[in-house]
């Protein structure tokens, strides 16, 4: 369903061409790329051929999708041109970025920036018109327009975030697992290739240790288990597996936030090690006394036994640092910052394990699978959460996301 409602003739002209395009790769007609990249001037791009289909520049990327072959017992890489992700884009922006990713990947990030700027401008224009007409007879109409535009832009920006996360997975050559129904054969779930090394390669040693401990805890597989143990089978309810997956996304999100705080506090401890900070210094500001909720004060004049804990933790490892969180800091790191991120986790998990439109299937369906396949799902979920944190930060600099009010 298209929730769009044009606010001006210029906005309508910018969107009309894009929304009427066939977005499947085989429907993209050959064209040419102008000397100036058209994605930096949205009004000049009237056909997908001008952006996507120059024969001299076309480098169609090999698909990283995963699917289950007919008669096979596991998922394998696909040679098709479809992204084959659990979630299908619901907006014109999402379908457009999907096409760009498959046909002109070198322009992907520029296209994302262009789409985010356009979405932000459209939403701001609707809000401005609503404010200007607040005292007129059309106030109710423009208030409704602003509400519809907000809904439309939220759906579109979730699609943009999803494509950014998918792009990050493609950079480490890891395909997202598709709907589980495509990977289950004769009641058994197998995901292949496992991609353990690639999924673990994005972390430092301390974070990787904590992730391996998480994997061991949630699926009951030892970190140093043998190949035989990895491919041993077990039974698990689909609903329970979906909950493990969603919890692992949140864990990856939390670890990303906590590790960056840890790195910043370590850097601050090193930078102030030999610097005299006095309460009378003209270089000080109120923010310099508060480091992530931990009080800092005159470092040089304080006795060594009374120095701030964050300075004493210069060489503290990440695990001990996280265990030292108070309740407020723990909640701040674990809480999703935006409503869009929360929606994306819910939609992706529902699409992967059940029917996105009807929600998760509340039944007791039991799946036979290997520990290796469960490990693959958990590692993917943790990486998804880490990428989601990065994507949320990036998108929020251009398009102001909605604050997550849920506790």
pLDDT digits (tens, 9 = 90+) for 288-336: 333 333 333 333 344 445 555 545 555 678 999 999 999 999 999 999 9
- The CA angle 200-202-208, to the nearest 5 degrees, is 50
Q: Is the peptide bond before 234 cis (omega within 30 degrees of 0)?
A: no
Q: Do 372 and 194 meet the contact criterion of CB atoms below 8 Å apart?
A: yes
pTM of the model: 0.73
Give me the helices (H) in 327-370, please. Answer: 327-334, 339-353
Q: Is the confidence at residue 206, as pLDDT, over 60?
A: yes
Q: How confident is residue 406, by pLDDT bands cut at 50, 70 and 90? A: confident
The number of beta carbons lying within 10 Å of the beta carbon of residue 168 is 18
pLDDT at 181: 82
Distances from the Cα of 275 to the Cαs of 270, 272, 290, in angstroms?
A: 10, 5, 17
Q: Is the confidence at residue 66, as pLDDT, over 90?
A: no
- CB-based contacts of 335: which residues, under 8 Å, 6+ apart? 404, 407
Q: Helix and strand tally (H, E) in the chain?
A: 14, 8
Tokens 């409704």 sit on residue: 144
pLDDT at 5: 39
Across 70-79, 162-171, 216-225, 280-289, least confident range: 280-289
Domain ranges of the chain: 9-58+87-175, 180-273+314-395
**Which residue has better confidence, 159 or 64?**
159
Give me the helices (H) in 172-226, please. Answer: 196-200, 205-219
Q: Kind and range of the H or E element at 373?
A: helix 371-396
Secondary structure of 10-28 as H, E, C letters = HHHHHHHHHHCCCCCHHHC
Q: Could you give phi then psi for residue 115, rounded to 5 degrees?
A: -65, -45
CA torsion sign for 311, 315, 318, 324 is negative
Instruction: Give the mean pLDDT of 26-36.
Output: 36
The burial class, CB within 10 Å (0-12 / 13-18 / 19+), for 339 is: middle
Q: How confident is residue 22, by pLDDT bands cut at 50, 70 and 90? A: very low
Angstrom distance (rounded) from CA 147 to CA 151 = 6
Angstrom distance (rounded) from CA 84 to CA 67 = 8
């Amino acid at each position: 369903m298209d929730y769009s409602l044009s606010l001006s003739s210029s906005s309508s002209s910018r969107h009309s061409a894009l929304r009427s395009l066939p977005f499947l790769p085989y429907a993209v007609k050959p064209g040419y790329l102008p000397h100036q990249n058209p994605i930096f001037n949205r009004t000049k791009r009237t056909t997908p051929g001008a952006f996507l289909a120059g024969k001299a520049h076309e480098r169609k990327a090999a698909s990283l999708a995963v699917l289950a072959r007919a008669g096979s017992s596991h998922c394998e890489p696909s040679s098709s041109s479809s992204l084959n992700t659990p979630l299908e884009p619901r907006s014109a922006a999402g379908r457009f970025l999907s096409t760009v990713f498959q046909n002109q990947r070198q322009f992907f990030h520029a296209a994302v920036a262009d789409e985010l700027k356009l979405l932000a401008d459209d939403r701001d224009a609707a809000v401005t018109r609503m404010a200007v007409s607040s005292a007129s007879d059309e106030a109710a109409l423009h208030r409704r327009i602003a509400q519809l535009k907000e809904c439309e832009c939220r759906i579109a920006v979730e699609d943009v975030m999803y494509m950014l996360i998918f792009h990050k997975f493609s950079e480490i050559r890891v395909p997202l697992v598709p709907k589980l129904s495509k990977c289950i054969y004769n009641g058994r779930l197998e995901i292949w290739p496992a991609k353990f090394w690639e999924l673990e390669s994005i972390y430092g040693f301390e974070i990787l240790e904590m992730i391996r401990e998480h994997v061991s805890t949630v699926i009951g597989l030892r970190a140093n288990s043998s190949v035989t143990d990895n491919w041993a089978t077990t039974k698990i309810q689909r609903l329970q597996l979906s909950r493990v997956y969603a919890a692992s996304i949140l864990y990856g999100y939390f670890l990303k936030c906590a590790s960056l705080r840890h790195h910043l506090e370590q850097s601050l401890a090193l930078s102030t090690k030999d610097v005299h900070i006095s309460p009378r210094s003209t270089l000080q500001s109120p923010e310099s006394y508060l480091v992530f909720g931990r009080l800092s004060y005159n470092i040089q004049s304080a006795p060594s036994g009374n120095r701030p804990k964050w300075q004493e933790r210069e060489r503290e490892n990440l695990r001990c640092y996280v265990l030292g969180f108070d309740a407020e800091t723990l909640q701040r790191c674990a809480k999703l910052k935006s409503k869009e991120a929360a929606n994306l986790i819910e939609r992706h998990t529902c699409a992967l394990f059940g029917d996105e439109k009807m929600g998760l299937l509340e039944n007791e369906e039991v799946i036979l699978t290997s520990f290796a396949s469960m490990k693959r799902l958990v590692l993917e979920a943790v990486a998804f959460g880490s990428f989601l944190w990065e994507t949320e930060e990036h998108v929020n600099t251009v398009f102001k996301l909605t604050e997550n009010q849920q506790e």
